[in-house]
Amino acid sequence: MPIEVKRIVVAGAAGFIGTNFIKRLANNEHYDVIGIFNTKKPSIEADNISYLQADLRNLDECKQVVKEDDYVCMFAGRLSTTSLMLKNPLGPITDNTVINVNMLEAALLAGINKYLWLSSTTGYPLLDRPLLEEDYFDLDPPSPYEPVGWMSRYIEKLSSLYSTKPNNPMTVICLRPTAIYGEHDDYDFQTCHVLPALIRRVVERSSPIEIWGSGEDTRDWLYIEDLIDACLLALENIDGYVALNICNGKSYSVNQLLENLLDIDGYNDAQIVYNRKNNSQEIKREFDYSLAEKLIGFKAKTSINRGLKQTLNWYKKSKFIKESQ
């Protein structure tokens, strides 16, 4: 029997998630991958991968990159980090909203097969128990997550409407991953999240290592390969509309992450200082992934120690290659 080949359009092909997703599908005869990028050229090459350049803020360009029967994975968007949001609380809200609305519209008009996009746990309110999918629209998102949290809520609501209201509704899968880390992440101090910054400071033997606030705020850290697993499981098993928590199931503080990294890399005499001037609201949250386990069979496989070790070793190797070129 001939092999069934799925055509998957990956928006954000040069980004952290898009790069890892395409890397997973490289040379897989079951997938024909079309990566969409804006300015930064993607790095993964394989016989089953091709690339198109497009500005997804333009609806006409969105219409040109999706076709009937496509699977669309929407990973495009500008990053919102705590440091960036302190400088500009609204951050990239406008651009991210526009590209998501445009891609939903283009996908519906094209009659695509399935549409998967990554929402955000920033839309959740603060509750003193593990957060369930049904909690998402209760109360307001906490500061400093409020702008991006409300944007994520709006796009989720729009996604549910696109999936249920038209005469030709489409499958839309909203995954709500927790804090993602891993290979090919952003390690630029000006734009990166806290974990990549810690990894870089440990590898480069920064002294002292500065922590904003008390270091006791906690997040559920999800290794990138586990997220890719969840995306593929969801595309395979979901029809209609669904929103799912995708998480590791355990939360760790910044202090715990740093302690693990120092131990992994043998940086035993590190000096640590706490910058209370940038002390934002201390947020501690946990998430429930039982619905994802039930519907798509997802359960994170990577422990925090193994994920940190693999990511740190990848960064050291990547840094060595760049410096030797």
The closest alpha carbon to 132, from 7, 291, 21, belongs to 291
Where would I find the beta strands (DSSP E) of 67-144? 71-74, 114-118
Q: Which helix (H) or strand (E) holds 23?
A: helix 16-25
Question: With bands split at pLDDT 50, 70 and 90, how would you rate the model's confidence at 281?
Answer: low
End-to-end CA, the chain: 47
**Domains along the chain with CATH numbers:** 6-183+220-251+284-303 (3.40.50.720)
Query: Whole-prediction pTM value?
Result: 0.93
Q: What is the DSSP letter of 189?
A: T
pLDDT digits (tens, 9 = 90+) for 51-110: 999 999 999 999 999 988 789 999 998 765 555 555 655 667 899 999 999 999 999 999
- Range list of H helices, 116-168: 146-164
Q: Is the pLDDT of residue 188 over 80?
A: yes
The whole-angstrom separation of Cα 69 and Cα 67 is 6
